Each structure stands twice: as C-alpha cells, then as structure tokens.
Amino acid sequence: MAVKVYKIYDSRASETVLATYDNLVFAQSPSGKSVGTYEVSVAPDGIDKAVLFAEKKVIPKLDFGINQKDFDSELEKLCGENFSKSGSAVSLALSILNLKISAYKKKKQVYELYNKNPKKEDLPYLLSNTIGGGLHTQNKMPIQEILGTSKQNDFSKRVKDGIQFYKNVEKHLTDKKIFFGKNDEGAIAFKGDYKESLSIATKSKLENFCVGVDFASTSYYKNGNYFFGNKKMNERKYLKFIEDIIEKYNLFYAEDPVMENSFGASAELVDKFGKDKIICGDDLFVTNVERLKEGIKNKSANGIIIKPNQIGCLSKAKEVVDLAKSKGITPVISHRSGETCDTTIAQLAVGWKIPYLKESLMNGERISKINDLTMIYNDLRK
C-alpha cells in the first residue's frame, strides 16, 4: 500500500496537506484564519517539515484501513501528545485517509461506516455564511458572519432557500447601489456596519427561515474590554449589547458571543435565551472534550462547533460530539476559512447525525460539501 503526503494549497492559498492512498483515495486538511488559542497547531515548524516528518517518522509505522480509534491512538503516539510534533494538517489528513480507506475497502461511503440505517432525515440543516465581516473581511463590521438557515424539512429545499437568501441580499445591495464582493468563505462583503448588514439580512429572509450570527468575540477582545467598532465596553455592558442585538434582530443562533474564556458570561446568555435559541461555542470549546466538560459544568452553551482540525483527528472530534449529544448540546460541524474540496465533514454530518452543517453556498470548495450531501439525499430518498 502506497500512502503519500503532499504539500498543497487551500482556498486562501495557504499551505496545507493532502494524503493519498495509491492515488485512489484522497484526504485534505483545512485551516482557519480565526483561530482559538487552544486549538492544535496546524504545523508547528511549517508544512514542509510536517510533510517530511510524516514521510519519515509516521507513515512507515502505521497500518491503514483499520479501526478508527485504534488508528488515531497510534497516530497521536507517533505525532506527539496533541499532535505537537506534526500539527493538525498532517494528523487530520492521515486520520481522514484511514477512514476513507476503510470505506473504500468495504465499498461504502464514509457516512455508512457510522450510520448503519441512514435516512434522508439525517441530512443536516445548513448554517450558511452569507454576509461577512471580522477577520475574514476587510470592512467596518466586527461581527464575523451573518448566517442563514432554512427550516424546511426537505434538504433540497433548504439548499434552494439558502441560495435564494444569498441572492436576496445581493439584490438589496444592488438596488441600493452598494458595491460588494466576496470574502475568504464566499460570503458577501461590503462596507456596511453591523446594523445595516443585519437589517438587510432580516429583510432578505424567506418563509420558515432564520438568521444567526458568529460574533467571534475573541477577535475584538483585549485586556478586559470588547472593542466593537468605535465602542469600548466592559463585560457587563457588552453582554447587554449582545442581548439587545439578539432580541432586536430575532437571532436564533449566536456563536462565540463572548471571548474564549468567558464560561460564566456565556452561561448568562444561555440562561436568558437557551430555551429557543442556540448559544454556540467555537473558540470557547475548540472541539476539546476537557473544555466541553468545563462548559457543561457551567452551563455555558447549548451548541458547540465541531472542527476536526482543531483537535487533530476524527476520533477525538467524535468523542466531543458524543458527549455534547449526551448532555443535550447541539453539535454544529463546520468548515474553515481555508478550505479544500475534501467533503468529509459533509459525510460526517450524516454519519454522526449532526443536525447542522456550517458552510457557505458559494465557491467551489464550499459547494463541494453541498453537492456531496445532495448526492446522499438523492440516494436516500429512493
């Protein structure tokens, strides 16, 4: 069996890793621009050295196409605790490759390895990044993402609604003669502030459709204060500010509304809104089971972002998913700003029965996940 790793480039033209088995099975790692402090490093000494390390020290000692937990356990031993020697670009690519080889040998799709009785109802709702700001966009909006999701029961209608929402936003901007482009994730980028952006999003909604926000609050937090545009707020004032935004724009979803260590402040938002809204942690948890346990103890969130590259391998990511579900916390599997055409997260959404996939409905590396889910949908409804 010939397993090889290569340096490639992601959608932001940043270096990442592709792993292949006999040029028949391929696995690629993404990378983020908005990165939590507690994430596994992508490549501690750079991608070139990570690839060389994998070729010399890791791949020759691994068996591929085996039980995923066993594989990932051995992988971490070779790559260092928390994949400190290799970084997640190498470790995740190899972890995904093992899973895909297992599927290939069994003549199954990846999702079928986990979900033994898949139904079309297992397809996720789509949290689609539609208007961009923050670190992904050079504009005046500190909010990183304004997201839309269709609550239609039928997956194909969810996709159509998400695309129509995107087009409605474009039309509003065109009618107002506002110039716009696209950011790293394919979201619409223009020079409006958060009020104008949320107003346009609200006006662009369809029937049975909801709007959410990724605040990515750590990106504008410093020394005990939040610097939101021209506002400087301590935590108490900032919490009231966030509450007002959630209520005014009837947001159903708020991701990272406070900075990455504010378990207590996040819990206050869950206490106020958690019955009918998702208060979701990304930087708060970084797909880490120990940080999730802290969040469970504090009741800090009722939603959690799942990004396998944050923790370095698939088995550790699944452990987080399983724990979250057991405690009534909604998992949301997510793309990264630096993406590839690898569709594993789409397969895992169905395989692990994750109710939401966070993505964008524009750009090839994003739409590849939607196309994969569309094929699964067509297979399952027969």
Residue 77, classed as helix, strand or coil, is helix
Is residue 4 annotated as part of the catalytic site, yes or no?
no
Choose the catalytic residue: 307, 316, 318, 369. 307
Catalytic residue (choose from 185, 255, 319, 365): 185
The angle at the Cα of 258, spanning 253 to 264, to the nearest 5 degrees, equals 105
Counting every residue written for the chain, the total comes to 382
Examine the residue annotation and report whether 307 is marked as an active-site residue of this protein: yes
Comparing CA positions, the residue from 209, 221, 131 lying closest to residue 173 is 131
The torsion region of residue 277 among left (phi > 0), alpha (psi -120 to 50) and beta comes to: beta
213 and 241 in contact (C-beta within 8 Å)?
no
Count Cβ atoms below 10 Å from residue 186 Cβ, excluding itself. 25
Of 101, 164, 36, 91, residue with least CA distance to 315: 91
Residue whose token pair is 């958690």: 274
Look up tokens 């709007």; give the residue: 211
Task: Specify whether the CB–CB gap between 338 and 10 falls below 8 A.
Answer: yes
CB 287 within 8 A of CB 320: yes
Strand-pairing partners, residue 214, are: 145, 255
Q: Which residues are catalytic?
A: 185, 307
